[in-house]
Structure 1
Amino acid sequence: MSMIQTGRLQLKSDNAQATQGGNTSTFTRVTFPAPFPSGSTVIVLPFTQTFNGPETPGIRIADVTATGFLIRFNEVRTSNGGSDGRHAEETVGWIASTV
């Protein structure tokens, strides 16, 4: 039987674009309201729910465990064609489920 949890947070990025795999120092930790059962395989689906910044905020997820996950914006593209990684504060909703 699957277990599902949901939540939302305010997220912004004041950091440069994350380009080095495994470096999660600029990510934000999200803790689930209740831990999933030990040994569960958990997936997280995040969704940007507001439109406060004009550029597209890419969302990166890392370190998904039974107790939570790491998240950050990694801006996809700016109006000048590049990306500096920074993005205005947005509301991000998420769904987490066991599989």
Structure 2
Amino acid sequence: MATFQTGKVDLSSDSAIETSGGNTSTFTRVSFPTPFPSGSDVIVLPLTQTFNGPETPGIRVHDVTERGFLIRLNEVNVNAGVKSDGKHTVEQVGWLATTV
């Protein structure tokens, strides 16, 4: 039986876009209120809850475990061929985590 947890986090991005795969030094760690059981396959579904900046914010999630995940906000620059310039104002991001 799947279990669910939800939460929200305020994110912004003052640094340039990450250009190296696996570089998570500018990501924010989110811990689940209650860890999922050991060995669980966990997925995280993030969604921007606010509209504070004029450009579209992009969300990246990495390193999802039973205890939490890493998340980063980038600004999507559609005028540059849908590439992110990396910088974006504070937005609230809601998330839902569940087991599969």
TM range (shorter): over 0.9
The count of corresponding residues between Structure 1 and Structure 2 is 97
- 2:54 corresponds to: 54
Percent of counterpart pairs with the same letter?
69
TM-score (norm 2): 0.93
Question: C-alpha distance in 2, partners of 1:84/1:74?
Answer: 7
**Structure having the larger proportion of residues in strand:** 2
Question: C-alpha distance in 1, partners of 2:27/2:20?
Answer: 13
1:1-99 maps to which residues of 2 (within 5 A)?
1-77=1-77, 81-82=79-80, 83-99=84-100
For structure 2, the residue ranges without an aligned partner over 5 or more in a row are: none
TM-score (norm 1): 0.94
For structure 1, the residue ranges without an aligned partner over 5 or more in a row are: none
- Alpha-carbon offset, residue 20 of structure 1: 1.2
Question: C-alpha distance in 2, partners of 1:44/1:73?
Answer: 15
Per-residue Cα deviation, 1:18-68 (whole angstroms, up to 9, x for no partner)? 121100000000000000000000000000010001111110000000000
Q: Which runs of at least 4 in structure 1 moved beyond 6 Å after TM superposition?
A: none
On the 8 A contact 1:18/1:74 being kept in 2, the answer is no
Q: Could you tell me which amino acid in structure 2 is paired with residue 61 of structure 1?
A: V
Q: CA RMSD in A?
A: 1.0
- Alpha-carbon offset, residue 87 of structure 1: 0.3
